[in-house]
């Protein structure tokens, strides 16, 4: 379950989006640059994404109940998928405006002031993205990480737009303004596609990251040296939580208490290595061939 306090970071993202919409919209109004317009349109996507993030973080923070025994963590994937979809819509809108301006170039006005306003907006996004990224990685929140990645992409987009509009101002190459906007659209399409892919992986119960799998396998290898065996290791990531199951093969002569004690040690070691993990172990006698009858449950190496 997500800490309820994470919702305040969604509010931070909403505040940043509102601020940058006003600033970038003002910059576009001052200059008439379609490049700056594309930058402002992306901030509307930031706002919609941040509002969706707030809703999904609120849902993900709810405790498990009778109908959702594993909690509500997967709600976060809906947020990142929604934001990815919005990014793609924004890209189409930006490209349409840019192509129209490409055939009907217009001179830019008040460029110096407009660029200064856009720089302030970019600084707001940069600071916000750094905060969200740190918190998202700490609590393994895909919603906050997705929001942070989007804001950081927005920062680099703004840097390109600012540099390009400045070049238009200096050279009077009016065609460069819409070309920059088209490049912005292509860049954010890539960001949106990555978010959609990650969300789909989470909804399809993708395994936990490879580094964490290797850590678990290292822990199990240490217990193998003490006479235990394992198979049917399965993992999945659901929002901030990881779910891990493994079959533990112990000597059949052990008492239930002995087997339970060893399972508890194994679970404790894995839980210390993989935070926010829910671990289920299944005990089986190592001498009984039927214990391996379900070996097709083993995670495939490929």
* Percent of residues, the chain, with pLDDT higher than 70: 79
CA 90/CA 80 separation, integer angstroms? 15
Burial class from Cβ neighbours inside 10 Å (0-12, 13-18, 19+) for residue 186 reads exposed
Work out the pLDDT band at 257, boundaries 50, 70, 90.
very high
pTM: 0.56
At 71 the pLDDT is 65
In the prediction, which pLDDT does 2 show? 47
Name residues whose C-beta falls within 8 Å of residue 107's C-beta, 6 or more positions apart in sequence. 32, 172, 174
Domains of the chain (ranges, CATH numbers): 4-203 (1.20.1510.10), 210-297 (3.30.70.1350)
Q: Which residue has the higher pLDDT, 288 or 79?
A: 288
Chain-wide mean pLDDT for the chain? Answer: 78
Q: What's the rounded mean pLDDT across residues 262-283? A: 90
Question: For position 50, what pLDDT does the model report?
Answer: 78
Q: How far is residue 26's CA from residue 96's CA, in Å, rounded to a whole number?
A: 21
Task: Count CB atoms within 10 A of the CB of residue 66.
Answer: 5
* Contact present, 142 and 78 (Cβ < 8 Å): no
pLDDT at 191 over 50: yes
Residues 84-120: tens digit of each pLDDT: 777 777 777 777 777 776 777 766 666 677 778 888 8
pLDDT bracket for residue 186 (50, 70, 90):
confident
- Integer CA distances (angstroms), 289 to 68, 202, 229, in order: 36, 35, 13
Give rounded-to-5 percent helix, strand, coil for the chain. Answer: 70, 10, 20
Structure confidence by residue, pLDDT tens digits, 132-183? 888 887 777 777 877 787 787 778 777 777 777 777 777 777 777 777 777 7
Sign for the pseudo-dihedral over CA of 64, 66, 68, 69? positive
Q: Are 94 and 185 in contact (CB under 8 A)?
A: yes
| Residue that is written with structure tokens 């290791």 in the block | 233
Task: List CB contacts of 267: < 8 A, sequence separation 6 or more.
Answer: 279, 281
Amino acid 239: pLDDT: 64
Length of the chain: 302
The angle formed by the CA atoms of residues 54, 55 and 58, to the nearest 5 degrees, is 85
Whole-number pLDDT of residue 302: 42
Q: Which residue has the higher pLDDT, 254 or 59?
A: 254
Residue 288 pLDDT level (bands cut at 50, 70, 90): confident
């Amino acid at each position: 379950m997500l800490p309820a306090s994470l919702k305040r970071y969604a509010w931070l993202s909403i505040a940043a989006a509102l601020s940058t919409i006003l600033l970038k919209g003002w910059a576009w109004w001052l200059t008439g640059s379609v490049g700056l317009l594309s930058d402002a349109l992306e901030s509307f996507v930031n706002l919609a994404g941040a509002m969706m993030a707030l809703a999904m973080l609120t849902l993900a923070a709810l405790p498990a109940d009778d109908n959702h025994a594993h909690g509500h963590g997967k709600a976060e994937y809906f947020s990142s998928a929604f934001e990815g979809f919005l990014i793609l819509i924004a890209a189409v809108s930006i490209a349409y405006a840019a192509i129209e301006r490409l055939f009907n170039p217009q001179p830019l006005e008040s460029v110096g002031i407009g660029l200064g306003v856009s720089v302030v907006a970019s600084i707001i996004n940069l600071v916000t993205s750094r905060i969200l990224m740190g918190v998202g990685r700490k609590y393994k929140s895909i919603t906050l990480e997705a929001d942070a990645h989007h804001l950081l992409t927005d920062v680099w987009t703004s840097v390109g737009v600012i540099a390009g509009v400045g070049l238009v101002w200096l050279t009077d190459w009016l065609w460069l303004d819409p070309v920059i906007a088209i490049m912005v659209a292509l860049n954010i399409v890539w960001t949106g596609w990555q978010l959609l892919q990650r969300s789909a992986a989470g909804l399809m119960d993708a395994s936990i990251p490879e580094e964490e799998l290797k850590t678990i396998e290292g822990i199990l290898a240490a217990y193998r040296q003490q006479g235990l065996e394992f198979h049917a290791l399965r993992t999945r990531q659901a929002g901030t939580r990881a779910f891990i199951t493994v079959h533990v093969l112990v000597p059949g002569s052990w008492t239930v208490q002995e087997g339970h004690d060893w399972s508890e040690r194994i679970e404790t070691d894995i839980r210390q290595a993989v935070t926010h993990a829910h671990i289920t172990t299944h005990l089986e006698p190592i001498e009984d061939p039927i214990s391996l009858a379900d070996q097709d449950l083993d995670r495939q190496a490929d």
